[in-house]
Amino acid sequence: MFRIEESFVKHILSLQKDRPTVVFTEPDDPRVLEAVCYLGRFIKPVLLASEESVRAWAAQSLSHLEPTRVEFALSECAFVDIPRQAALVEEFAADCLKNRRCGSAAADLATARSAVSEPGLFGVYAAHLGHADMVVGGARHGAKDFFRPMLAVLSKREVVCEAGFFVLPDEHPESLYPHNIVVFGDIGVNATMSPRKLADVAVGICAVARDLIPEEVLPEIHGAIVSYSHRGSDEGPSPDMIRQAMALIPGLLAERVRLGRRYAGIRIAGEVKISAAVSRRSAELYGGDGLGGGTNVIICPNLETGNLLYDLYSSRYPTAKKFQVIFGVGFRGVDLAIDCSPEDVRLAVKASVLRLHRYGRWTRTPQDTFFRRHRVLAVNPGSTSTKIAVYEGEVETFSRELQHTQAELAPFAGRRIAEQYAMRKDSVLRALGEAKLGPGDMDAFCGRGGLLRPIPHGTYRVGEAMLAELRAGLGGEHASNLGGLIAHDLAAPAGKPAFIVDPVVVDETPPRVKVTGVKAIRRRVISHALNQIASARRYAQENETFYERVNVVVCHLGGGISIGAHSQGRYIDANNGLDGEGPFSPERCGSLPQAQFAELCFSGRLTHAEVKKLIKGAGGLIDLLGTSDLREVERRIAAGDAEAAEVFDAMAYQIAKAAAALLPAFDGQKLDRVILTGGMARSAMLVERLAGYLVGLGCGVTVYPGENEMAALAKGALRVLYGREAAREYTSPDRASLAPRPAIP
């Protein structure tokens, strides 16, 4: 059986830059509510009920689901209690009364208010007026309460049709429907029929099938228009109407092909007997009707036949994957069958979301009524540049890497890094000005965290204690110290909050991690905490759970390598990548045999400065192969360089060894995943080698290439703005707490 839901997920995620807002008019239906628990990765759900009511329904009907899944799904939802939405009801009622398209006999404003206060019509108007992108209903609402007004309000075309998709189980004879995929459509939702409308219906339903079924699965879509009777009938298209429609279809298909070459594989036959369309034996007998190797799309002569076939196949093949799709409402409506299952709901929503992303030219919800798009400026200073990015919600809308020339940096040579902040702040303001943005346009500012004292992970409000330490460089001199300073100075005049997120000094490790065999030396934890924790959070979100519920090892693979253990929302162990501990990397030597290293240090061959440079900056691949570019190493391997191959394998082995060595950090708990991130995670060769070395852990490997720092900064601020996380306060070291964060219920 074709895995249609996996296909939907794959293609949605490949296209998705943001999630559309989808209104569910029937959250009190257990099937709908269960489906919502599996849709949070793809949509922003709006449930038309109070949060208290939804949680009560979930407790009553979803006890068979894993509690964390339900809690995570509800944390992603907006809850809309219609009686409390007076402004929206007024807006919807005014439009309903003005346009008279809401399907009700609204004679005055009071009647219109009453009509749009019903969940079905409220959801339809939310989609119609841009407060949402899609509305889902029909599981409990009758046609007059949802389906008909939805078509009346949302239809974008003269012709509207609904198609029922089936992916049949393997026991069905595949020779009738290629790949056992069949689509039943009908002309029943159109009040009157003409040859042009019939042709539009046939092409439209076949186009929907082409939109949703990959060409590698079905290279061609074969459609068939079923003739009600060879004598003609008032209840369906006559043979003469079908012939006229068939004459129009080539032109309509040509228009479709101009929209996309994928439609070139659509083939439509006319005047097909119903028996030939649904019977293997009849198809063989009536092959001359144009079915050839079988059909995938059957356009039925009337609504009753379409419904009959849908119900017949639903009953005969209960394990079939099935859902309904509407053509002609601009991807904005999903009509559910009264006997739908939670899986049917998921498939119907994902099908419409895929079409919205792929062909609806959708970029974002027109209005942010239900999910506020807070605007956040992220600032990430580096040694010779400052990266900035503006996020509206979780979508980046502007970014710039501001390069600082040698002439600009020369006056600060040998001076404190904090002295650069005014120069860098001015460059940020200029770049924002060029984009016609200013500090007043932001809801919050977030800077890269600097070398502070060890602190727990989280989003920290930039306050006086933090500013004093960053200005003084008490933890060391590094460009990241400027992040909090710049964010604060941009935010303060506008009266907006400034934050930092997960600086390199995040330390939640127990004492056993820091004890060494030399009393005078305690291990320091300095790592790529921002990307480490962001990658762990991303994995949790993609698996529809919380960071506080997963056990993962994250391998940040860049110029430096840090490998961290994340257990149930705590960052409990990591190598000190800054000082070269752990595997050797492109620029760092990694952990070394102490006696041999001591001999080298005191041999007189290297100065103190040269030793420090070997540890960080001139070690690893640079010392071994003369390059820090892993792509160059791979090119040498491809050219037959045995030394490069040996060094590459040694680095991969040491990375895998360090990752596996963190297993005891989880105190016997199951490891959920190993995550590879950072610039070197773009190397397919390295990923393949690491996955092979780590297969014995039994948890699998997930890859998030790149450092993703700007998004991590913005998301940290957004968690606070959305109320999902409380901002932490940075205090003096005697009051700083490393206590666990409150558990999510």
Top-confidence residue, 143 or 107: 143
The token duo for 58 is 């979930």
Whether residue 740 is predicted with pLDDT greater than 60 in this model: the reply is no
Whether residue 735 is predicted with pLDDT greater than 70 in this model: the reply is no
Sequence-ordered list of residues with C-beta below 8 angstroms from that of 532, at least 6 positions apart, any chain: 502, 554, 556, 562, 564, 566, 571, 574, 677
CA 558 to chain centre: 24
Whether the Cβ atoms of residue 366 and residue 713 lie closer than 8 Å to each other: no
Whether residue 144 is predicted with pLDDT greater than 50 in this model: the reply is yes
In whole angstroms, give the CA distance from residue 467 to residue 473. Answer: 10
* Termini Cα distance of the chain: 39
Q: Is 87 buried (19+), middle (13-18) or exposed (0-12) by CB count in 10 A?
A: exposed
**CA geometry: angle 460, 466, 468, nearest 5 deg:** 165
677-691 in b/e form (b: 16+ CB < 10 A) is bbebbebeebbebbe
In whole angstroms, give the CA distance from residue 470 to residue 46. Answer: 42
Task: Kindly report, residue by residue over 365-422, the tens digit of the pLDDT.
Answer: 999 999 999 999 999 999 899 999 999 999 999 999 999 999 999 999 889 999 999 9
210-236 in b/e form (b: 16+ CB < 10 A) is bbbbeeeebeebbbbbbbbeeeeeeeb
How confident is residue 631, by pLDDT bands cut at 50, 70 and 90?
A: very high
| Integer CA distances (angstroms), 77 to 22, 51, 393, in order | 10, 9, 15
* 324, amino acid identity: Q
CA 493 to chain centre: 35
Rg (Cα) of the chain, in Å, rounded?
A: 31
Top-confidence residue, 102 or 466: 466
Q: Which of 168-182, 210-224, 430-444 has the lowest mean pLDDT?
A: 168-182
Taking residues 560-585, what's their average pLDDT?
A: 93
Whether residue 236 is predicted with pLDDT greater than 70 in this model: the reply is no
- Using DSSP, state whether 236 is helix, strand or coil: coil
* DSSP at 81: -
- Using DSSP, state whether 552 is helix, strand or coil: strand
Whether residue 606 is predicted with pLDDT greater than 60 in this model: the reply is yes
Torsion on CA atoms 122, 126, 132, 134, rounded to nearest 10: 60
How many H helices and E strands in the chain? Answer: 27, 23
Going across the sheet that includes 181-186, the strands are: 266-272, 221-226, 297-300, 181-186, 161-167, 321-327
Taking residues 112-130, what's their average pLDDT?
A: 95
Are β-strands 321-327 and 161-167 bridged in parallel, bridged antiparallel, or unpaired? antiparallel
How confident is residue 509, by pLDDT bands cut at 50, 70 and 90?
A: very high
- Using DSSP, state whether 672 is helix, strand or coil: coil
Question: What is the number of other CB atoms lying within 10 angstroms of the CB of residue 555?
Answer: 29
Cα atoms in the 13 Å half-sphere on the side-chain side of 647: 25
Angle at which helices 195-212 and 239-259 cross, to 10°: 40
Taking residues 543-571, what's their average pLDDT?
A: 96
How confident is residue 177, by pLDDT bands cut at 50, 70 and 90?
A: confident
Nearest to 338 by CA among 511, 151, 175, 137: 137
Whether the Cβ atoms of residue 681 and residue 562 lie closer than 8 Å to each other: no
* 318, amino acid identity: P
Task: Kindly report, residue by residue over 314-370, the tens digit of the pLDDT.
Answer: 988 999 999 999 988 989 999 999 999 999 999 999 999 999 998 888 999 999 999
Q: What is the pLDDT of residue 352?
A: 97
In whole angstroms, give the CA distance from residue 218 to residue 308. Answer: 26
Whether the Cβ atoms of residue 744 and residue 546 lie closer than 8 Å to each other: yes
In whole angstroms, give the CA distance from residue 32 to residue 701. Answer: 33
CA 554 to chain centre: 20
Q: What is the pLDDT of residue 271?
A: 78
**CA geometry: angle 458, 461, 465, nearest 5 deg:** 110
The token duo for 222 is 């074969």
Highest averaged pLDDT of the listed ranges 97-111, 193-207, 228-242: 193-207
Question: What is the number of other CB atoms lying within 10 angstroms of the CB of residue 125?
Answer: 26
In whole angstroms, give the CA distance from residue 386 to residue 377. Answer: 13
In whole angstroms, give the CA distance from residue 617 to residue 589. Answer: 9
Highest averaged pLDDT of the listed ranges 100-114, 140-154, 714-728: 714-728
Whose tokens are 């006319």? That residue is 270
In whole angstroms, give the CA distance from residue 255 to residue 248. Answer: 11
* DSSP at 336: P
Q: What is the pLDDT of residue 102?
A: 62
| Domains of the chain listed by start with CATH number | 4-154 (3.40.50.10950), 161-328 (3.40.50.10750), 372-523 (3.30.420.40), 529-706 (3.30.420.40)
In whole angstroms, give the CA distance from residue 274 to residue 276. Answer: 5
